[in-house]
Amino acid sequence: MTPRFEPIIGRYLHLELSGRPQRLYVEEAGQGIPLVCLHTAGADARQFRHLLNDEAITQHYRVIAFDMPWHGKSLPPEGFEREEYRLTTAAYTGMVIDLCEAMALEKPVVMGCSIGGRVVLNLAAEHGPRFRALIGLESADYQQPWYDTEWLHRPDVHGGEVCAALVSGMMAPQSPAASRHETLWMYKSAGPGVFKGDLYFYRVDGDLRDVVAKIDTSKCPLYLLTGEYDFSCTPEDTLRTASRISGAEVTIMKQLGHFPMSENPAQFRRYIIPVLERIRSRG
């Protein structure tokens, strides 16, 4: 095997989020329209490594993926040891806005998956005109809970193992084993209680059923793509959400689940590249 570097550049961005200094790990590759990628709950930006390495995308897009505070190579804020981490709608929405401003991104596209797909809906409702387009992967305004999140962080059950085992069946059986297990590795290696803290936004604070009707897709196009094997955010959840948003475009993706960009990158690019082409051609 010939040694090689990928074109991805990783840097640390210091900025204030919700009044607290943070050090965020940010990766990027490519030039053109900024495309900010938001990872799923309890994971990190490694989920987007295939997009960051896809020349068909990076020749037109500056792809940016960052680890949220507490995730991946971004540290928790000072004093974290005395608090329970809980992501809120306001903090998450503000984080994306503040990051885009800190990086001076002009009319970026934001694409988020799962919790990232949920916050994209709030960005569309509250800040639509700031964005060139918004893309929600595995995105819905609300989803029926399917387990007690107390299992995610307790001393008698290994947190990393149980987080990974809970989400493992949300990927399509057709997805390559290596990609599925790479996706699960991020869950196995996340900090204690982080997945649970992210799900506070997903389960408790981020019910957007009364918010999505405010979305104006004439000011910011909205694309929603959901995998047929996702039983957490089901195709029905996404279709129901889209039915309340005039102009939202939905794609149900075959042979994909809750982690399309990392569980089966080859299958996902068949769906996402046409969407990115459409966004680019709209000007």
What residues make contact with other proteins under the rule CB under 8 A?
144, 146-147, 151, 156-158, 161-162, 164-166, 168-170, 172-174, 228-229, 231
34: tokens are 């900024």
CB of 157 to other proteins, least distance (A): 5
CB of 217 to other proteins, least distance (A): 28
Q: For residues 216 and 272, what is the distance between their CA atoms, to the nearest angstrom?
A: 22
**How deeply is 19 buried, as exposed, middle or buried, from its count of CB atoms within 10 A (0-12, 13-18, 19+)?**
exposed
Instruction: Tokens 């990115």: give the residue.
Output: 276
By beta-carbon proximity to other proteins, the closer residue of 29 and 166 is 166
User: Minimal CA–CA distance to 190: which of 77, 92, 70?
Assistant: 70
Question: Left, alpha or beta for 3 (phi > 0: left; psi -120 to 50: alpha)?
Answer: beta
CB of 199 to other proteins, least distance (A): 15
CB of 144 to other proteins, least distance (A): 7
CB atoms within 10 A of CB 125: 21
**Would you say 216 and 200 are in contact if contact means Cβ atoms under 8 Å apart?**
no
By beta-carbon proximity to other proteins, the closer residue of 7 and 169 is 169
By beta-carbon proximity to other proteins, the closer residue of 125 and 172 is 172
CB of 147 to other proteins, least distance (A): 7
Strands of 33-38's sheet in order across: 9-17, 20-29, 61-66, 33-38, 109-113, 133-137, 222-227, 249-253
By beta-carbon proximity to other proteins, the closer residue of 168 and 217 is 168
- Which phi and psi angles does 121 have, rounded to 5°? -65, -40
Instruction: Tokens 């885009």: give the residue.
Output: 100
CB of 180 to other proteins, least distance (A): 12
By beta-carbon proximity to other proteins, the closer residue of 80 and 231 is 231
Q: For residues 188 and 124, what is the distance between their CA atoms, to the nearest angstrom?
A: 32
CB of 206 to other proteins, least distance (A): 19
**How deeply is 79 buried, as exposed, middle or buried, from its count of CB atoms within 10 A (0-12, 13-18, 19+)?**
exposed
By beta-carbon proximity to other proteins, the closer residue of 89 and 183 is 183
